[in-house]
Amino acid sequence: MLKKTLTSLVFIACATSNAQSPHENIIVNGSFAQGTQGWRLEPEIEVSVPPSPDPDVFANAPASLLMRAQEAPKDGYIHSRNARQCIPIGDARKLQFSGNFLYPDELPASNYGHRANLIWHYQSDCSGSAQFGTYLEPEIKNGWQALLIDDLSPALNAQAVEVEITQDQQLSRKDFGVLESAYYWLLEKLGVFGDDTLARGYWDNLNLQITQLEEPEHPSNQFDGAPSVPTNTNLLRNGSFDTGLEHWKHYHSEWSTDEGYNSEGAIRITLTSDDGSMGTGVFEQCVNIGYKRQFKMGVSFKADEHSNQTGGGRMRVSWYEEENCQGRHSTDGRHVDPQKIAGWQPLSVPLLEAAPNSRSVSVDAIQTIDGKGEFSAYWDDMYFMAIE
Ligand SMILES: [Ca+2]
């Protein structure tokens, strides 16, 4: 049994020294009653008393985390102010994340700048590589609001989670119309706002709790009875798209009969954008890998020269702990992207190491478009093979 119900968890938590107890808040000082203790704060963030503490929720801890970032230049770099905390997650299998948020001033017309992110880390001190998990995002409304995400699964092999309270320094005025922009320009000129026109926000009662623990004795790297898979054979079905798109999950796609790399028949993906660049997963296939640990992969890519916008792509994989791409997963950092050149280009990753404890892999193609318009590309001869 990999999964245990909550009723049987308490004993396990007590008996395992490094396990966290279920239903306790594993965030240190998530109520900010102890000031900044446990948190790393960047400038323009402070712990202070909000103008309207909720008497029910905040009776014992009137202090909250105030995000009051200044607007940053629109120079193409990512700008944000963050408060962070790294928390080892032990044997956590499922978690619940919640918090309260307040806009203390006039509501912004549009503001997607405030978020509370969860980022999974493979090192217990949150160094090294990471995988983005999920986030809480406040609605634009008056008064304290409660935000919650239930049933979270850590990334496969994650050792810690980083709680990152963030305010984007460019997004807050993103969708303002001309009249609104003029209004704020006037207020600034009159000194009403100073230069602090990004919507401030208070966070409080940040709570991350484990709702399900993994059985500590769960054997890792045990593959007794796992089926073998052949080496140097394409484990993807219909990788050459010779007869259609069967065996693939696909989006924004059509089968092309008159294009192809080694043989005619390819998948053609068309992305359109009304505003700005974007990227999305376009086709994928799940492969059970048995006990094999080393793989190689590749695909051929050709941009359609009739597109009125440029774009690109990426081939990458995510490893899953159970067969058929079920359970927790971990996205591999090794990937390959096509160059912006004409004609077919074969792409390959010569060595991929399966994530520890993984039993299946999702082989994914992602396509991007660089701005407003339409970008089409052909993909063909995708392979994923076990190496001896
Ligand atoms: Ca083909």
* pLDDT bracket for residue 78 (50, 70, 90): confident
pLDDT of residue 224: 57
241, pLDDT greater than 90: yes
What confidence category does residue 75 fall into, taking pLDDT thresholds of 50, 70 and 90?
Answer: low
- The answer on pLDDT for 173 being more than 60 is no
Does the pLDDT of residue 280 top 70, yes or no?
Answer: yes
Burial tier of 14 (Cβ tally within 10 Å: 0-12, 13-18, 19+): exposed
Report CA(381)–ligand 1 centroid distance (Å).
6
Separation of CA 290 and ligand 1 centre (Å): 27
What CATH superfamily classification does 6-213 receive? Galactose-binding domain-like (2.60.120.260)
What does the pLDDT average to over 4-9? 35
Q: Which residues surround ligand 1, an ion (CB under 5 A)?
A: 240-241, 260, 263, 265, 380
Ligand 1 centroid from CA 239, angstroms: 8
| Other Cβ atoms closer than 10 A to 315 | 23
Say how many Å lie between the CA of residue 234 and the centre of ligand 1.
14
How is domain 249-386 classified at the architecture level of CATH? Answer: Sandwich (2.60)
Determine the distance separating the centroid of ligand 1 and the alpha carbon of 113, expressed in angstroms.
44
Helix (H) or strand (E) holding 212: strand 201-213
- What confidence score (pLDDT) does residue 369 get? 93
Terminus-to-terminus CA distance in the chain, angstroms? 32
Within this chain, domains 6-213 and 249-386 share the same CATH topology: yes
Gap from CA of 372 to ligand 1 centroid (Å): 30
What does the domain layout of the chain look like in residue ranges? 6-213, 249-386
- What is the value of pTM for the model shown? 0.75
Judged on CB neighbours under 10 Å (0-12, 13-18, 19+), 60 is: exposed
